[in-house]
Structure 1
Amino acid sequence: MNDKPIVRYTVNQRTNHWLVAIVFLMAALSGLALFHPGLFWLSNLFGGGPWTRILHPYLGLTMFVLFLGLVCSFWRANYFITNDRLWLRRVGLVIRNEEEGVPPIGKYNPGQKLLFWVLLICMLVLLFSGLVIWRAWFSAYFGITSIRWAMLLHALAGFILVLSIIVHVYAGIWIRGSVDAMVHGRVSRAWARKHHGLWYREVTGDETPERPISKKG
């Protein structure tokens, strides 16, 4: 029996992912420092208040550009399919680690797909609202009402983005093997078949019949 691991992420994809993660952390910390006086001490990580204000928009722009690399790599795999709807109806079984009772899915499960699109929307909102309030370059072209709305949207999108990343990290740790896949790029065939049956068949050509779907859940 072939037990050779399956490539899930290439070196370029993994590098891109971790660069986004690093820049996101820096952008989030600098943004929090500017968001509330109680968090202004975080600006010390960037050399003080003035440098934090200078660096934050550039960090945000860098994060968006790097994230586009992930979008180009993964957007096709994040389209919703019929099995995703059935998977969501049986998500309780997934939480109980009884995945033999759910339909096979592609490279990403519906939760991961939803997260992908939420992240993309948040990134777009942060980009355009950030340009409006970027005092050094663009805010002079907008009225005070537009700037206020942009600041509100920027804060809201940033809040949703941070919560989404927390969920992303938790889910990656909770599903054993997920973090390892993004570190080393490979997963076992047993892991792929259990968690992403359709993707497993696509990359291996294994047409072994799937286990029957339970009627419970």
Structure 2
Amino acid sequence: MKPEIQRYNANERTNHWIVAILFFMAGLSGLALFHPALFPLSSLFGGGTWTRILHPFMGVAMFLFFAFLVIRFWRHNKIGREDAQWLKQINDVLNNREEKLPPIDKYNPGQKILFWVLLACMLILLVSGVVIWRQYFAHLFPIPVIRLGALAHAVAAFVLVLSIIVHIYAGIWIKGSVTAMMTGWVSRAWAKKHHSLWYEKVTREKK
């Protein structure tokens, strides 16, 4: 028997996992191209030539699928004044004292900030990636711009990787979050405990 509240539908979950797979593929291929010590990772993609060919296409695909998630979820991730109090009580968050925190909607302020950081990184990676994509676009830009693009690409990738690590850790830390993205469903108790405002809206709509 499924829990009573659906948090994500099949399309949203599929989209999320496609982005996750593309992130790891683009990340590993990017690391292979970043430093000679990591070049052996290119064997996962058929060697250096294929890694150079596939990496930018995987990056573009990741951005496009992520864009669908942005279109679907940006309204839930708008940061409002009510989020300030939650952030002020970050010690309660880190010590898992949820009973002291203000009511939360579908996403808490930490998740919202992460959402916008991910979007910013994705945009920087896309623009800088086009600038340094030698096969098609690099000849359109002067060398200083290409160098700046390579630096921006590396920094954005570094921040993105750190953000995803935080995302994964938070998903494991809050029990039920990973299950929600796997099955799409959560229990009433989980929803009421972690996202009480969202729980009230969903139950009100059902009635």
Q: Which category describes the TM-score, using the shorter chain as reference length? A: over 0.9
> 1:4 Cα shift?
5.1
The answer for the alignment partner of 1:212 in structure 2 is none
More helix by share: 2
Partner Cα distance (2:139, 2:161) in 1: 29
Map 1:156-171; keep pairs closer than 5 Å.
Answer: 156-171=155-170
TM-score (norm 1): 0.92
Q: Is the alpha carbon distance of 1:152 and 1:7 closer, same or farther for their aligned partners in structure 2, counting shifts above 3 Å?
A: same
SS of 2:82's partner is helix
Map 1:70-149; keep pairs closer than 5 Å.
Answer: 70-149=69-148
Partner Cα distance (1:83, 1:43) in 2: 47
SS of 1:205's partner is helix
Structure 1: state its 5+ residue gaps.
Answer: 207-217
TM-score (norm 2): 0.96
Partner AA of 1:110 in structure 2:
P
Partner Cα distance (1:29, 1:162) in 2: 11
Partner Cα distance (1:164, 1:4) in 2: 30
SS of 2:93's partner is helix
The answer for the alignment partner of 2:50 in structure 1 is 51
SS of 1:176's partner is coil
Deviations 1:176-207 (A, max 9, x none): 0000000000111111111111111111129x
Partner AA of 2:161 in structure 1:
V
Partner Cα distance (2:49, 2:38) in 1: 15
Partner Cα distance (2:185, 2:114) in 1: 22
The answer for the alignment partner of 1:209 in structure 2 is none
> 1:94 Cα shift?
2.2
Regions of 4+ moved over 3 Å: none
Partner Cα distance (1:95, 1:204) in 2: 28
The answer for the alignment partner of 1:39 in structure 2 is 38
Number of matched pairs: 204
Deviations 1:99-123 (A, max 9, x none): 1111101100011000000000000
